[in-house]
Chains A and B, each alone.
Chain A
Amino acid sequence: MAQLTDIDILSAVKKGNINKYEILVKKYMKIIYSLVAKQLFNKLDIEDIVQVVFVKFYKNIERFDEKRPVLPYLYQIAKNELKMYYRSHKELRLSDSLEIADNRKIEFNIDDLDTILKELPPEQKDIIQMVYDGFSYSEIAEKIQKPLNTVKTIVRRARIKIIHTYYGKKT
């Protein structure tokens, strides 16, 4: 049996042959899985997002022009889903672990963390300490008389520096 092209598969699905969609899923699932796995570490979250990508594509299949390539469209859906995932999972808690925006987690021991914090510039260290003490970004911005976005930028830079410092010490 000649291999079906994406155009054939999409035309068949649009005509009601839903079972042909399985071929498309088999063809692109690994690629989308790899893309999402580069960004996330939790297996369940990766699988959820991959599932959502293919279900969303199926829901929009009637409007999709079968002559267009499928993969870029799937990529776009995956990227949008990842954005939404980051938005709903964004948090920074500093205890003896550091959760970064995309849920990557680094386990520190307390001594390491103290040492790493000492290496931060004073402004970054003070703000990270306030985050650790439970202040929200708005409260921090009010306290230090700086705009909210500035506080967020400082926190982001501090996180990056912590990661680099931590991995530098480990090697």
Chain B
Amino acid sequence: MEKKLEDKIIDSVYRFETKKTGLQIISNIVIMLCVGFVVFIFASLTIDYFSQLHTVDVLEIFTDGMDTVMNNVGNIMNIIYYETPKRLVTLLLISSLLLFYILLTFVTNFESMSKKIQSIIRFWLKR
């Protein structure tokens, strides 16, 4: 009787953990893909914006030597600042930070997640 009840308890625990881990993995993947896609879109738009305005051309000053660069640092920064699409870059930064956070969480939890998956697989194979 004891063994049967013990098995029932462990069975319930593994069923719960299988559902929970499965949902966690799926939601992690979906969130990472969505946020990654958003970052990609913002990055593409930002690069597109800069290339349309030829803002990057201002960096050609670096070919004129360090003295010229040092004398015109203020102007260069001003041009880049005024031509930058601020909202777009802010959104890009926020979404990049979010993606970084998600990836960091995934990496720190990876070991425990993989141990759980191994335990779950072993259990269901033994059944």
Contact = CB atoms under 8 A, between A and B. Distances in A.
Nearest to A48: B8
A47 interface: yes
A9 to B, nearest CB: 13
A15 to B, nearest CB: 5
B25 to A, nearest CB: 13
B14 interface: yes
Interface residues of A, number: 20
A14 B13 CA distance: 14
B16 A15 contact: no
A16 B122 contact: no
Contact of A51 (B8, B14, B112): B8
A137 interface: no
Contact of B9 (A14, A15, A18, A55): A55
A82 interface: no
Given A30-B2, A55-B16, A16 B9 contact: no
Contact of B119 (A16, A25, A30): A16
A21 B16 CA distance: 13
Nearest to A58: B13
Contacts of A16: 111-116, 118-119
B13 A54 contact: yes
Nearest first, the 10 closest Cβ-Cβ pairs linking A and B are A16-B115, A16-B112, A18-B119, A16-B116, A54-B9, A55-B12, A58-B13, A15-B112, A51-B9, A19-B119
Interface of B: 2, 5-6, 8-10, 12-14, 16-17, 111-116, 118-120, 122-123
A26 interface: yes
A49 to B, nearest CB: 11
Contact of B115 (A15, A29, A51, A59): A15
Given A15-B112, A17-B115, A21-B10, A59 B2 contact: no
Contacts of A15: 111-112, 115
A25 B13 CA distance: 11
Contact of A50 (B9, B114, B116): B9
A22 interface: yes
Interface in A34-60: 47, 50-51, 54-55, 58-59
B5 A18 contact: no
Contacts of B6: 22, 25-26, 29
B111 to A, nearest CB: 7
B8 A58 contact: no
Contact of A18 (B17, B111, B114): B17
Contacts of A54: 9, 12-13
A33 interface: yes
B10 A47 contact: no
